[in-house]
Amino acid sequence: MLKVLSVRNFAIIDRLEISLAGGLTCLTGETGAGKSILADAVGALLGGGLSRVGPTGDRSGNGGGDEESAVEGIFDISSVPDVGALLEEKGLPTGNELAIRRIISPRGRAYVNGSLASISTLQEIGERLADIHGQHDHQSLLKADRQLGLIDEFCEASALYSEYAARFRELAELKSRLSGFEAGRREREQRLDILLFQRDEIDKAALSASEEDELNSERARLMHADRLRALSEEVLSRLKDSETPALAAVGETKKALREMHGLAGSLEEALKLVEGAEVSLAEACSAVRDFERTLEADPERLSVVEERLDVISRLKKKYGGQPAGSETIEGVLAYRERLEEELQAISGSEEDFGGLKARVSECESGLMELGRELSEKRRAGAGKFGERMRSELAELGMERAQFRVEFYPQERPSLYGMEKAEFLFSANPGEGVKPLAKIASGGELSRVMLALKVILSSADNVPTLIFDEVDSGIGGKTAVAVGRKLREAAVNRQVLAITHLPQIASQAAEHFVVEKNTDGKSTKVSIRRLGKDERVREVARMLGDDESRAASAHAAELVRRGGGVV
């Protein structure tokens, strides 16, 4: 339970600290005094939003200065083992007491037992420590999904629903991916046709990297065979067969140099050079003769070679690379490798598509199984839920009220299950039950919500319940009944009730008054625990007259009946 709440520079609160006990505690005060801000502060402490106080707790113009806004709380968690287990799981210090501090600023921070913690961690802790019901929560009771959630809480099916909802979201994601696959399947098939055609075209050509140079050389020989033969004969003639052949001249020169070297010496180098020239000319002569033998005019072979070169040229232009003019056979072969990689990727996509369809089918089956199990659990508990609600409403002054849960099956599963639920209600005898949203007044909704809270609080064992002016629209005997119900709910837990009704405030074990004071320049909120005389005066004020003896006597009687000592 919450033992100490400290608020600094929060909305219109400058500084405030309150120590709390178990049982029913009521907070009262004039309208606008800031009572509800305390509920907001507890909500912020436990990771709630800051919409009603601004994102930074700004108090500009109200004496707040540059001091940070902060909310601190100390909780007794000795009876809430789940919180201790959660702290250990998060690696946070634990013990019988829990200290939470939240700094509210553009770069807000939160601390749990002195260690930095995230807002999501505060929210997880808060779910186990307190249940805050504000004056604007009535409308949530009218929403179909919220009604299903309440039934799940009562039937202890919340964990099962969470599993169902997770499976539903997984299925939605899988179906979205499957839809994307199906939408792109036509494009993939078209791309596959193109890739297969290009691969087959390249493979059919059976290219090799050195082939083009060899073909160009062969084409040149075939195209100029006659001229090459004539030139070959001329070369051979000059080297060997003419009247003054080069080989013969070099041979004679070699003989003369050899004789000169024998007579005088010192011409060895020149002799070697001439001997080398003779060998080179002989080899050149042999090479030209061999080349001449390959020369043959063959129009058919020339046609074949040119056709092959045309194929190579066309494939180079299509697949050989960029920019134009730099295409190569190597580029064509590299493109062929990329084709194969893309073909494998598309084939893999088709395998993924089949696997995804199987996963969708499996997930759908699992969802339907969870949905049926959830439906059975909901329907099994709905009758008992209706009985408990009728009993609680009777104790809240609605003895003849009717309440039941109606289920409407859906053709397709939704995020909330296989059915919709609706709370049907009738406040008066002789009236048929109708949807709660259509017939319940504000006061009736307040009592329905209180009955729900009482029922559900016994199921979830949250140690602290906070009611922020949930008593709107009621008065008289009904207000007394609501006060008794709050006191009953507080037997084994802490209940904090912010109220404007004297019939409720008079039944509190402890009573605090919230006051707002202004000096014309700034506004400050204070809170103080009331003694027995002050309490009677405050209840008399709530009755509308804190001056007359009759109002004071009435107030004293209310406090006495409520269990207070006067």
Q: Are residues 211 and 118 in the same domain?
A: no
- pLDDT at residue 63 in the model: 47
Nearest C-alpha neighbor of 34 from the set 514, 522, 538: 514
- pLDDT at residue 460 in the model: 63
- pLDDT at residue 171 in the model: 92
- pLDDT at residue 70 in the model: 93
Q: Are residues 193 and 323 in the same domain?
A: yes
Q: Are residues 131 and 200 in the same domain?
A: no
Give the number of other Cβ atoms within 10 Å of residue 282's Cβ.
14
CATH number (domain holding residue 491) = 3.40.50.300
Last residue of a domain, one of 294, 314, 345: 345
Is 339 within the bounds of a domain? yes
Is 207 within the bounds of a domain? yes
The dihedral sign for the CA sequence 90, 93, 95, 101: negative
Is 485 within the bounds of a domain? yes
Is 557 within the bounds of a domain? no
Q: For residues 401 and 394, what is the distance between their CA atoms, to the nearest angstrom?
A: 7
C-alpha pair distances (Å), 551 with each of 11, 539, 543, 555: 34, 9, 7, 6
Rounded to two decimals, what is the model's pTM? 0.60
Q: Are residues 123 and 250 in the same domain?
A: no
Q: Are residues 210 and 129 in the same domain?
A: no
Structure tokens given for 37: 């801000």
Q: Are residues 329 and 205 in the same domain?
A: yes
Is 483 within the bounds of a domain? yes
The dihedral sign for the CA sequence 355, 359, 365, 366: positive
Classified as helix, coil or strand, 405 is strand
Q: Are residues 215 and 338 in the same domain?
A: yes
* Beta-ladder partners of 465: 131, 495
- pLDDT at residue 417 in the model: 93
The predicted-structure confidence for 209-256, as pLDDT tens digits, reads as follows 888 888 888 788 777 777 877 787 878 777 777 666 787 888 878 888
Contacts of residue 516, Cβ cutoff 8 Å, sequence gap at least 6: 12, 29, 30, 32, 33, 34, 523, 524, 525
Triad 108, 111, 117: Cα angle to 5°: 80
CB-CB contact of 3 with 75 (8 Å): yes
Residue ranges of the chain whose pLDDT lies below 70: 50-67, 134-142, 242-244, 297, 322, 324-325, 348-351, 439-443, 457-460, 473, 546, 563-566
> Which residue range is the domain that position 241 belongs to?
188-345
Q: Are residues 225 and 128 in the same domain?
A: no
**Number of domains observed in the structure of the chain:** 2
**Burial grade of 540 (CB within 10 A; 0-12, 13-18, 19 or more):** buried
Q: How is the beta sheet containing 23-28 ordered, strand by strand? A: 130-133, 464-468, 494-498, 23-28, 510-518, 523-529
Q: Are residues 35 and 118 in the same domain?
A: yes
Q: Are residues 89 and 217 in the same domain?
A: no
Last residue of a domain, one of 326, 345, 364: 345
The predicted-structure confidence for 543-556, as pLDDT tens digits, reads as follows 887 677 887 888 88
- pLDDT at residue 566 in the model: 43
Is 456 within the bounds of a domain? no
Q: Are residues 130 and 192 in the same domain?
A: no
Q: Are residues 336 and 207 in the same domain?
A: yes
* Element housing 129 (H / E): helix 119-129
Nearest C-alpha neighbor of 385 from the set 147, 164, 162, 163: 147
Is 535 within the bounds of a domain? no
Is 31 within the bounds of a domain? yes
Question: How many CA atoms within 13 Å lie on the side-chain side of 7?
Answer: 26
Structure tokens given for 154: 């009562």
